[in-house]
Structure 1
């Protein structure tokens, strides 16, 4: 057996030990482990909407999902399908939907951006922090609705002659001409009755949906006409809970991006003609 001289060992042992240190399994243990990515099919969005009919958005007056559920539900189904998100629908009174979003027991609802909701909602934003209207769920316009034989246009232009506008109690104030006098009533139906009976000059009604002129079906049976352009426009956003967005930030952005691509404007208009 050949003899290995001590001088040979002393010369090459440090090099050998360095090589062994590099290839030892312990060095591999320091490499960061890949982060598990949850696939889209594993994500479920629990969406809450009101248990009262609100056409064209929601159909049916119960806690059950109607066979023809409303244009907003059809739109949401298309967007979640396009992004591979499972969808669970829940119908509750509106305030309970808001509370569920606040305590993270539900994941999403459709609402406007309001200051009091900012601390518990997440919605699509521009780089400057403003709401991204291009990724809004829907847009609506409100017009003044008046009797066809009421010269309300002249009253508005006069700036000095007052005119009355009936609006349902609980609705948020919207900008009005300076000579408008707001009359609070208990319902939209009551507001229309006052207009038809000439006891007030006007009320506000839906007249635009997603950039298209729109008219609720029952107005065709009344001596009412809508005054364009809309006096007010607003946007509804897919509001996500803080918990859902923190779990699925990229998926949330994909879902918001899918909304304008899956919007069927004609379907919203078709639901306005539903009579039951």
Structure 2
């Protein structure tokens, strides 16, 4: 039996995503790549679990079978699928990949908001039909935006918007208690929150009505944060002007969802943070923490299981 720590990497193959660059992991540990549910033998000596497979949702079962497991790292920012009582009961540390996606998600939000304000979808539609139709569009400068979520992604979005002269306000847990009042004061409402009991259904019909007929909704957090049926109705009757959505209640978005064909709606397949080479940067976060763990130092990006995210 090897005396070196064992790291299990859960990496179910996904044709849409790059495989984990395991060669970047330092040679101080034994790395075992697992496809599917790890066996009792694989878990027996494992001290570290790296969950590369974003679809994995049975951490509780793994923890009950892994006596030596002390640290779980997620190759994602959202960890709602992994939160379970066994984390606290077993004293297992959970970390995530916070920081990797901050800038690319903020860039996606800027692109979506600018596209809406500048009427890019309408321009492309006219171009496809060969129509030269002069018209004026809006200005982003001077708009008011509320970014719901004060984590690193939300802070980066607000920073980038402010550089374009948008009056961006960060909305945390306390302020989100009366989100309708917040929505009534802004032109753009951006959801960048993790999925927790407190954020499920946070943006409902009342909030959308307060956002108003010129309002624009962006969701780059988790789908169930928005009551999708209420959003569809609000878009259908013109309660709000449009939406840019990267996440949905059900993913992939069902083919019969009306969101696919609604005007002034951008449907993105949960890819706002993904960019060429993101898997290398994501592995870098884990490797940095792994070196800390081997030296007995405090890890970065420790998730509070009671909150469901990393404390700021």
Higher strand share: 1
- Fold match (TM-score > 0.5): no
TM-score of the pair, normalised by structure 2: 0.30
TM-score of the pair, normalised by structure 1: 0.33
Bigger relative contact order, structure 1 or 2 (CA pairs below 8 A, ≥6 apart): 1
